[in-house]
Amino acid sequence: MFETTTIVTASYFDSVVLMRVASQLKKRDGITEVAMFMGTEGNHELLDQVGLATAESKHAGPQDLIIIVRADTQALAEQTSTEAAAMLSAKRETDQSELSYRPRMLDRALGFLPDASLAAISIPGAYAARETQNCLAHDLNVFLFSDNVALDDEARLKKIALDKGLLLMGPDCGTAYLNGVGLGFTNVVRRGRIGCVAAAGTGLQAVVCRADHRGEGISHGIGVGGRDLSGEVGGLMTSYALSLLDQDPATEVIILISKPPHPEVARSLEQTCRQLATPVITCFQGTTLDSDAFIQSATLDEAADRAVCLLGNTPFVPRNFTDIARIKQLLDHQQSTAAGRRIIGLFTGGTLAKEAYLLLRPLLGTVSADLDQAGSHCLVDLGDDRYTVGKPHPMIAPENRTEVLLELATAGRLDDCGALLFDLVLGHGSHADPASELAAGLAELRSRHGLTIPAIVSLIGTEGDPQSLVEQQRVLNEAGATVFLINSEAARYAALLVVPDCRQALMEVRP
């Protein structure tokens, strides 16, 4: 193996751009690794952790770009490094041609767009708090994509935002919709009467897609960050977002999506909801509160369905599956080969993985979140920090999930697997064709390892998405996967395959 390190001084690039280019180059024959990072302190630590740091890389400063390539030959490593720099330069020139003026300072940007009301921030967490405070000082609402922001900074900044009547969406806010405009990872959905407040990005995507499938749309979708309902932050943005939606004439019902709130925050939230004129439907993953201040839902799709029924003034009938006849037909073909074996789930969305875990644990018993734990059912969020060190998020680079899948097969750890469970999230920001990547992985499982394991996919998206829901579903079906457009149904179906005894309970109408 040969390695080359290139330092491009005084040349900043967004981490998402770097990850996309690195992922594209890594697919080439003879390339073992491509790492592209800015020379921040955190990135230097990361390179050390994954064994990619070199003597040259350690000299890079925060505004310097590090390009590390490992390849089969020295010439290939050097050529790929040169191509990486050229691809980034070409992208920058394209971006600059699309916008004649690209200010580098907030004051200059506001001079260019004096009526701006929102700033989107995606920079290393160490600098995010300072820039957020600067934007709030200029009376800008903030969409804070950055993570690794200190919890006390989050609480402090949200108090500042609240005092000024501004939204601070985040930190680590991946998805939002404001007046029909999507921010971050978003699906193309119709406008409508459902307002959403979400502490979970893929959770929000699943809800708005389900509403779209049911013929409804959203007015706004306000992300608040995963820690907003913690005791330290106190649900400041959640309460404020609820009040804003309550005042919005286009919003007739509100859906709130989050992890279980801190007990004190839950009590405060209950008081807030009682004061609202707009009905609130909640999905607190993993808990049910003793309260009638809101309508509680067990799953993301149930929250969306309840909202649609409320708007249509029709009764909500809880069902584990929307098409029982299809489930019976599928089981006739697959159940016998999977019964008694284990489920392995490889997810890209943390909220979707959590929902599947909460549904499967009562049915299966022990469900691990650790791929190294042999013999047990396992559901893993591959978007978690421990799996993305030095790699792009699997929603951006689905080949990372394929690598994990094939590594498990090579190690013989799929030999006792009765069902593979995946999510696949479409929309802006996601990979252009994630279904084909997953299909290729399933094909290699069969051809190289002789494994024909039932593959179940939770496909989150709409026909308006750039990847096309119908086309992605076609690719998955041709690959032999069983596709569901509802995450909870995919998880329940996996349980039916490996635990036939739960068939009667799961296939009847729930009370």
Range of the domain at 145: 106-312
Domain final position from 98, 130, 162: 98
Q: Is residue 318 part of a domain?
A: no
Are 234 and 356 part of one and the same domain? no
Q: How far apart are CA 311 and CA 434, in angstroms?
A: 34
pLDDT at residue 335 in the model:
64
pLDDT value, residue 464? 97
pLDDT of residue 390: 66
Inside any domain, residue 369: yes
Is the domain of 289 the same as that of 181?
A: yes
pLDDT in tens, 318-334: 999 999 999 999 998 87
Decide if 319 is inside a domain: no
Termini Cα distance of the chain: 61
To the nearest 10 degrees (0 to 180), the angle between helices 41-49 and 125-137 is 150
Cα-trace Rg, the chain: 23
Query: What is the reported pLDDT for 253?
Result: 99
**How many Cβ atoms from other residues are within 10 Å of residue 372's Cβ?**
7
pLDDT in tens, the chain (511 residues): 899 999 999 888 877 788 888 888 988 999 999 999 889 888 898 888 888 899 999 999 988 999 999 999 999 999 999 999 999 988 776 665 555 567 888 999 999 899 999 999 998 888 899 999 999 999 999 999 998 899 999 999 999 999 999 999 999 999 999 998 999 999 999 999 999 999 999 999 999 999 999 999 999 999 999 999 999 999 999 999 999 999 999 999 999 999 999 999 999 999 999 999 999 999 999 899 999 999 999 999 999 999 999 999 999 999 999 999 999 999 988 766 788 899 999 999 999 999 999 999 999 989 999 888 777 899 999 998 788 776 778 999 999 999 999 999 999 999 999 999 999 999 999 999 999 999 999 999 999 999 999 999 999 999 999 999 999 999 999 999 999 999 999 999 999 999 988 888 888 755 5
Residues facing 381 on adjacent strands: 347
The structure tokens 């969020």 sit at 381
Are residues 304 and 372 located together in one domain of the fold? no
Structure tokens at 396: 């951006």
Is the domain of 72 the same as that of 12?
yes
Query: Distance between CA atoms of 470 and 464, rounded to whole angstroms?
Result: 10
Cα gap 59→263, rounded to integer Å: 48
Query: Residue 176: CB partners within 8 Å, gap ≥ 6?
Result: 143, 169, 182, 183, 184, 186, 204, 221, 222, 223
- For the beta sheet containing 377-381, the strands, ordered from the edge strand earlier in sequence to the opposite edge, are 367-368, 377-381, 342-347, 417-425, 455-460, 482-484
pLDDT score, position 340: 86
Q: Are 188 and 143 within one domain?
A: yes
Q: Examine residue 511 and state whether it is found in any structural domain, yes or no.
A: no
The CATH number of residue 196's host domain is 3.40.50.261
**Dist. CA 123–CA 425, nearest whole Å:** 24
Residue at 82 is within a domain: yes
Residue 186 is predicted with a pLDDT of 97
Question: In this structure, are 159 and 296 located in the same domain?
Answer: yes
**Do residues 308 and 352 both lie within one domain?**
no
Q: Are residues 218 and 93 in the same domain?
A: no
The backbone region for 468, taken as left when phi is positive above 0, alpha when psi lies in -120 to 50, beta otherwise, is left
Residue 127 within any structural domain of the chain: yes
Q: How many domains does the chain have?
A: 3
CA atoms within 13 A on the CB side of 472: 29
- 70 and 25 in a common domain: yes
**Does any domain span residue 93?**
yes
Asked if residue 183 and residue 136 are part of one domain, the reply reads yes
Peptide bond into 318 cis (omega under 30): no
Same domain, 332 and 472: yes
Neighbouring CB atoms inside 10 A of 125's CB total 17
- CB atoms closer than 10 angstroms to residue 421: 28
Residue 317 lies in a domain: no
Based on the fold, state whether residues 295 and 338 are members of the same structural domain.
no
Choosing from 98, 116, 143, the residue where a domain stops is 98
Provide the H-helix boundaries in 62-150. 74-98, 106-112, 125-137
